[in-house]
Amino acid sequence: MKIKLLFLVALFTMVTACGESNAPVDTTDVTADEAAAVVTQDATDTAETSEPETEVAAPEAALEAVEESIGEEASDASDKIILAAAEPEPEQPVRTDWKYSVNQHYTALTTAQGTSSAPDKIEVAEVFWYGCSHCYNFDPIIKRWEADVPGDVSFIRLPVMWNPTNEIHARIFYAADALGKLDEMHDEIFKEIHINQKSLTSEAEIKKLFERFDVSEDDFNSAFKRSPSVEKNISRARNLTKRYGISSVPILVVNGKYVTSGDGIKNYNDLLAVADELVERERQNR
């Protein structure tokens, strides 16, 4: 009986050690029945204590699930990007108060001719001849105009092709361009003819001019006599002179459609003003 009682006391001591309190337990005069009652009560308390833990854990798990679900919904909502609708650009007013008129200030070509500029550019071509005194006087004026043209305008020069002298001067122009010397030589070609009184119709005169700009004899011969690109450009200039109906120079051709010629043009400023308005017409029609 004592052994059994001691066993019960030891068991009681182990059970109370896993609880919240580690205070020593007085086992004096503890009967077997009391010890059994204590063990039974402690086991009951332990069972009651563990049940709430299970009951509490379930709501916590459920709460976590709810919180995660709410978080996902909020994330989905925040991930939706709503783009603002682009406001339509205001329509530009259509201009109708044009100052210059067809046949008086310009001629409209029946068929538009191709241009050598990019498709998104409005081309203004100056048709000129190095031997023309009017072209010589107009050159510094057109240069100032060229410096201020808008970005959508492309300015080019086109040598006129009426006769053999025009062709020789056109060949000088395109040979200088092929050699990368045109920017340096353009003014000097004009001066050689109009200031130095050189006709620049003989090969010897022309070769000396190119030598002044450090062009070797071989390079000169390759460009002036045997260049496929020069021959192609001369052929094109001859063709466009006819298609544009050029009868005088200097003259401007806008986008291969309009030629600035007519009785209403009295001076160089008129020539440029008409070209500017024709450029604006082309810009509006795009």
22 domain residue, yes or no: yes
pLDDT for 91 equals: 65
User: Is the pLDDT assigned to residue 56 strictly greater than 90?
Assistant: no
> With 60 as the cut, is the pLDDT of residue 247 above it?
yes
In sequence order, what DSSP letters do the residues of 86-147 get, joined into one string? PPPPPPPPPP---S--BTTTBEE-SSPPP-SS-TTSEEEEEEE-TT-HHHHHHHHHHHHHHH
Main-chain dihedrals φ then ψ at residue 85, nearest 5 degrees: -70, 130
Q: What is the pLDDT of residues 72-123, one digit of tens each?
A: 444 454 555 555 556 666 666 777 789 999 999 999 999 988 898 999 999 9
Q: Give the domain CATH number at 279.
A: 3.40.30.10
Per the model's pLDDT, the better-predicted residue between 66 and 170 turns out to be: 170
pLDDT of residue 86: 61
Question: Residue 82's pLDDT is what?
Answer: 56
Query: In which band, very low, low, confident or very high, does the pLDDT at 35 lie, cut at 50, 70 and 90?
Result: very low
Last residue of a domain, one of 74, 99, 121: 74
**Same-domain pairing of 68 and 113:** no
Q: What is the pLDDT of residue 68?
A: 46
At 96 the pLDDT is: 77
Do 246 and 148 reside in the same domain of the chain? yes
Report helix, strand or coil for 258: strand
Q: What is the pLDDT of residue 286?
A: 83
Cα distance between residue 256 and residue 236, in whole Å: 13
Q: What is the pTM of this model?
A: 0.68
Query: Could you list the residue range(s) of the whole structural domain that residue 210 is in?
Result: 107-284
Token pair recorded at residue 210: 């190119």
Task: Work out the average pLDDT over 225-234.
Answer: 96
Do 35 and 116 lie in one domain? The reply is no
Residues 195, 272, single domain; the answer is: yes
The pLDDT of residue 90 is 64
Return mean pLDDT, the chain: 80
212 plus 276 within the same structural domain = yes
Residues 254, 121 within the same domain: yes
Residue 96 lies in a domain: no
Q: What is the pLDDT of residue 61?
A: 46
Residue 37 has pLDDT above 90, yes or no: no
Between 218 and 65, the higher pLDDT residue: 218
Of 16-30, 67-81, 91-105, 128-142, the least confident? 16-30
Helix, strand, coil share of the chain (percent; to 5): 55, 10, 35
**Domains contained in the chain, number:** 2
For residue 227, the model assigns a pLDDT of 97
Rounded to an integer, the average pLDDT of 200-211 is: 97
Mean pLDDT of 160-175: 98
36 and 126 housed in the same domain: no
Does a structural domain hold residue 81? no
pLDDT at 36 over 50: no
Among 9-18, 161-170, 180-189, 217-226, which stretch is predicted with the lowest mean pLDDT?
A: 9-18
Phi, psi of 250 (to 5 degrees): -75, 155
Question: Does residue 85 fall inside a structural domain?
Answer: no
Mean pLDDT of 229-257: 97
Is residue 90 one of the residues assigned to a domain? no
pLDDT given at position 95:
76
Is 204 within a domain?
Answer: yes
Sequence-ordered list of residues with C-beta below 8 angstroms from that of 30, at least 6 positions apart, any chain = 5, 9, 38
Same domain membership, residue 146 and residue 227 = yes
